[in-house]
C-alpha cells in the first residue's frame, strides 16, 4: 500500500463533499477493493471516513473533522500546474493525466478559474520541432527497469559515432537541455556512466535483476570533462546571430564592434572537438573567429575539406 496514494486520497476527500469509491479507483488506477482497504486504513489512522450507501452515495470525511484545506496558495497551485504541463510535453501523456486531475481536485472551485488562467500564462514545451520517435518508448522501458531493478542492454553510439553494445544497471533518468540522459552502472566498463538516449537503439529490459549500488549522480554541469578542455575564443558575429549566441554566453560576454555597427564581438566558450567546430561552421558567414590563430587555421582546413568534396 503506497503512502502517497493514501495522502492523495485524503486530499481528494478534503476537496469533495462526496465521491464514489469506483471514481476514486478510476482516478488512482486501482481496484475498488483496494480503495476500500485504503479508506479503512485512513479511518484507522484517525481521519473519520463516512460511507453513504445507494446509487447516489459515496464516501467523504466527517464534516465535523477539521483539517486545513488551504495547504497551497493560488501561486503554489499555478506553479504546480505549469510544471506538470511542461513535463507532460516530454513524457507519455497518460502518465500525467491522472496526476493533473489529482492536483486539480485539490483546488477550491471558487479559485479554479483564476488558477487555470495563471498556469496558462506560461507554457513550457521541451520537445524538439522534429523529435526522435524512439525516445518515449525507451523512457517507458527504462522506467520499468528502474522500478524493478532490472538490467538494460542496448546498442550505443558515442559522440564520434563509434558503436558498442552495453549492459547497464539503470539508476537515474535526467532531462537536460531538452535531451534525455541515463545515469547507469556499465557492466562492460565497471563504472558509472552517462548515456544519451538519442544514441540508443535496440533497447531491451533484461530479466536479470541487480542489487542497487551506492549511487551519487555524476555532475552534468560540464565540470567532469567540458571545463577541463574549454578555452575562450573571440568571435566577430553579425547582429542577426545575437539571439542564438546569447543563450550560450550570456549578455555580459557580448559587446559592440567599434569598427562596424552591424557586428558584435563575443567571448565564446569553446571545446576543441568535432561538435565545437561544427557549431562554429553552423554559424556560416555571419561569424568569424578572430583568435586564437590555431582555431582559425583548423576552420580553414575543415572548410577546404568540405570544398574538396563538392569540387
Residue appearing with cell numbers 501523456: 93
Residue from 154, 136, 170 nearest 204 by CA: 154
pLDDT at 176: 81
pLDDT at 55: 73
Report if pTM > 0.85. Answer: no
Residue appearing with cell numbers 549522480: 217
Residue from 168, 164, 162 nearest 181 by CA: 168
Contact predicate 59/70, CB 8 Å: no
- How many helices and strands in the chain, by DSSP H and E? 11, 11
**Cα distance between residue 200 and residue 141, in whole Å:** 12
pLDDT at 69: 52
Walking along the chain (311 residues) 10 residues at a time, the average pLDDT comes out as 73 80 86 88 84 83 65 68 64 62 66 73 63 73 92 89 92 84 94 91 94 88 59 93 85 89 92 88 93 95 93 86
Amino acid at each position: 500500500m503506497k503512502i502517497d496514494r493514501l495522502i492523495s486520497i485524503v486530499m481528494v476527500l478534503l476537496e469533495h463533499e462526496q465521491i464514489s469509491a469506483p471514481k476514486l479507483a478510476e482516478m488512482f488506477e486501482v481496484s475498488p477493493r483496494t480503495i476500500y482497504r485504503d479508506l479503512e486504513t485512513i479511518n484507522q489512522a484517525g481521519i473519520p471516513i463516512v460511507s453513504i450507501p445507494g446509487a447516489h452515495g459515496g464516501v467523504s470525511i466527517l464534516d465535523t473533522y477539521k483539517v486545513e484545506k488551504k495547504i497551497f496558495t493560488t501561486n503554489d497551485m499555478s506553479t504546480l500546474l505549469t510544471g506538470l504541463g511542461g513535463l507532460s510535453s516530454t513524457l507519455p501523456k497518460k502518465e500525467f493525466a491522472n496526476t493533473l486531475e489529482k492536483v486539480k481536485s485539490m483546488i477550491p472551485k471558487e479559485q479554479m478559474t483564476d488558477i487555470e488562467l495563471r498556469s496558462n500564462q506560461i507554457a513550457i514545451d521541451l520537445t524538439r520541432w522534429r523529435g526522435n520517435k524512439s525516445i518515449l518508448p525507451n523512457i517507458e522501458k527504462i522506467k520499468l527497469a528502474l522500478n524493478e531493478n532490472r538490467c538494460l542492454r542496448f546498442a550505443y553510439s558515442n559522440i564520434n559515432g563509434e558503436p558498442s553494445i552495453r549492459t547497464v544497471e539503470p539508476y537515474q533518468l535526467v532531462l537536460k537541455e531538452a535531451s534525455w540522459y541515463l545515469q547507469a552502472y556499465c557492466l562492460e566498463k565497471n563504472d558509472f556512466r552517462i548515456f544519451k538516449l538519442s544514441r540508443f537503439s535496440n533497447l531491451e529490459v533484461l530479466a536479470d535483476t541487480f542489487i542497487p549500488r551506492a549511487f551519487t549522480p555524476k555532475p552534468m554541469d560540464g565540470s567532469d570533462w567540458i571545463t577541463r578542455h574549454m578555452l575562450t575564443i573571440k568571435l566577430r558575429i553579425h547582429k542577426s546571430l545575437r539571439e542564438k549566441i546569447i543563450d550560450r554566453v550570456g549578455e555580459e560576454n557580448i559587446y559592440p564592434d567599434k569598427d562596424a555597427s552591424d557586428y558584435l564581438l563575443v567571448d565564446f566558450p569553446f571545446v576543441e572537438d568535432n561538435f565545437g567546430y561544427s557549431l562554429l561552421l553552423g554559424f556560416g558567414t555571419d561569424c568569424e573567429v578572430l583568435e586564437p590563430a590555431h582555431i582559425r587555421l583548423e576552420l580553414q582546413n575543415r572548410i577546404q575539406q568540405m570544398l574538396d568534396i563538392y569540387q
